Amino acid sequence: MDLYRRLYLLLPALLLLSLTIAACSVPAPACDQASIIYPAGEGLQGGPLRLGVIDASHLFLSELPNGLKASQAQIAVLDDVRWGYIEPNAPQGDAHRYAWDAPSVQLDSRVAAYQDAGFELVIVLRVWNPWARATGPQGGLAAAAASTPPQLAYLDDYSAWVQALVERYDGDGVDDFPGLRDVDGDGRPDPVRFFQIETEAVTGVWWQGTSPETAASDYVTLLRAAARAARAASPDATIILGGIAATDMLDRYPSAADLQDVVTSISPDVCGALTAFQQILAAGDAYDIVAVHSIADYTGLAILADWVATLAGREKPVWITGAASAPALTADPQHISVNPLYPSEGEGLWNALRDPDDPNHAGVTQWYRAEQARLAFKKWVMAAWSGFDALVMGYEQDRPTYERPEYGLRDLAFQGMLAPGEAPLTRPVIHALATAQGQLGGYASVQRLLGFGPGVYAFEFMVEGQPVYAFWYDDGAAQGPDDPPASILLSLSTQEPQLLVFTIPTRAGQTSPDVAAYAPHHGVVTLTLTETPIIVRGRIEASALGQTFIPLALFQH
């Protein structure tokens, strides 16, 4: 790990500054309070949920794809593929020179490695290019990696790059990357079909227009150019809109009135992001899928689904193309935090997690990795119930550079689902997700169940014609490493001779769930339910389920 950290910290200065949110002013899109539309009790209707993982690092390691595949994910997102890395010099006339496998991007290597591991790929295209941009990013260190629009004279060159990239990986036999793999076993190289245009295009951190007032319209111009170029290369190219990140303002099921109060009182950056999100969603002909991010708690996913459905309708699939897998200890960036999980003890926990010499380091690390497994599983279940089509969990590895407090990204520093260079390579979160995929994946339907008491989360999945249940308890208070687990007794009526209970993996080195069989006593199985999710197999009687379905709007309000 020491060598890994040193390698990471020795990346070029530009990479050290990428993905940063600092205290200096970032030119977020312009705010228009009056135009914002709030959730109206809608719901998405997607599914079944597909699981994805993300490779967002410039330090590509060959052990990552197979390690991530242990989660049973189907999708891998290759993030931050920048035009300026692949075409570092302006073309001479019409002659473009592309470095597809340059050390800063390694796109050919990553495509081959992730296809070898069995993933379907998404490539995130970024226009970032120093020689082509009309203006440099504003906001200092806060937005050093922001994409900005190209000069008009170079827009065709950007389109040429997009078309060449899609052509290279489309598997049609014309100018193809010779290293494309046969993932699905049909004897032919599999294409890359999904292309996301920028990421979080509404915050001012990742994308900036020529001015805050034109940020949304500039993005739509770029989106349309990219979509035309990609579709010209391949009719199967699927375009993903780079949308918005859901913060903790959505956690714990706020009403539309609550959200309006927050948006009018919090940083205008939030209002600007919402304003811009509505504007770019209107360009529906230029994209096929809406992408959003989830960087806070699992309880925010229901409102996120409601809000996107209210704004975009139900026709477009919605993917969460980046979701935090571990809890936010510091609530960075704090100027837009509304519902911090650990308002008093978070800093101390984070410091203990960071410092191997801290006397509490081992205990906090063990707790944090267990919490990561619990949160990721809960996000999977909530994303499935909320109607999302895909959930992409981050990150593939820790980010030591994010530890610097001025970046405002400390909660993302230890999100790694793998520990390259360590044994075991996989952390418990990988196996918690594999449990969700193996037990619940491919479901025909999912319902939220009621009737078990306050704080009990209960879901029924129909899998291969049989009900499979997921349960956990949440008393509304975040549990720290020294807190006894909150619990409640759960009584399940059944006519089965036994119920099988699978407790998700949360311990280091644990690669499968703990399994126990419970025989009913007078037709009832009683379990102690905690914050650690369980899966129950065996039919539960309807009388034990109370109300068997909660409409999304009712649950939120």
| Separation in Å, CA 112 to CA 101, 267, 394, 417 | 11, 43, 20, 21
pLDDT band at residue 555 using 50, 70 and 90 as cut-offs? very low
When mean pLDDT is compared across 6-10, 339-343, 457-461, the lowest value belongs to 6-10
Pairing of strands 488-493, 524-529: antiparallel
Residue 435 predicted with pLDDT over 80 = yes
End-to-end CA distance of the chain: 46
557 or 190, higher pLDDT = 190
CA 74, CA 70: separation in Å to the nearest integer?
11
**Ranges for all domains in the chain classified under CATH 2.60.40.1180:** 447-556
Determine what percent of the chain is predicted with pLDDT higher than 90: 84
pLDDT of residue 401: 85
Angle at 312 between CA 307 and CA 313, to 5 degrees: 95
Polymer length of the chain: 557
Q: Of 419, 407, 321, whose CA–CA distance to 368 is shortest?
A: 419
- Average model confidence (pLDDT) across the chain: 92
| pTM assigned to the model | 0.93
Residue range 269-322, pLDDT digits in tens: 999 999 999 999 999 999 999 999 999 999 999 999 999 999 998 889 999 999
CA 324, CA 372: separation in Å to the nearest integer?
9
pLDDT of residue 51: 99
**Structural fold of domain 2-406:** TIM Barrel (3.20.20)
407 or 131, higher pLDDT = 131
Residue 546 predicted with pLDDT over 70 = no
User: Which DSSP string do the residues of 459-527 spell out, in sequence order?
Assistant: EEEEETTEEEEEEEE--SS---TTSPPP-EEEEEE--SS-EEEEEPP-STT--S-EEEEE--BTTEEEE
Residue range 516-538, pLDDT digits in tens: 999 999 999 999 999 999 999 99
3-state secondary structure 193-217: CEEEECCCCCCCCCECCCCHHHHHH
Identify the helix (H) or strand (E) that includes residue 80.
strand 75-82
Contact 431/69 with Cβ under 8 angstroms? no
Provide the β-strand partners of residue 151.
Answer: none
**Ranges for all domains in the chain classified under CATH 3.20.20.80:** 2-406
Residue 384 predicted with pLDDT over 50 = yes
Residue 17 predicted with pLDDT over 50 = no
**63 secondary structure, DSSP code:** T
> Which residues fall within 8 angstroms of residue 492, CB to CB, at 6 or more apart?
499, 524, 525, 526, 527, 536, 540, 544
CATH 2.60.40.1180 fits 447-556, yes or no: yes
pLDDT band at residue 556 using 50, 70 and 90 as cut-offs? very low
Structure tokens of 236? 């199967």
pLDDT of residue 57: 76
Q: How far is CA 82 from the centre of its chain?
A: 20
Mean pLDDT score, 461-490: 97
Beta-strand ranges (E) seen in 232-389 are: 238-246, 289-294, 318-324
Residue range 217-269, pLDDT digits in tens: 999 999 999 999 999 999 999 999 999 999 999 999 999 999 999 999 998 99
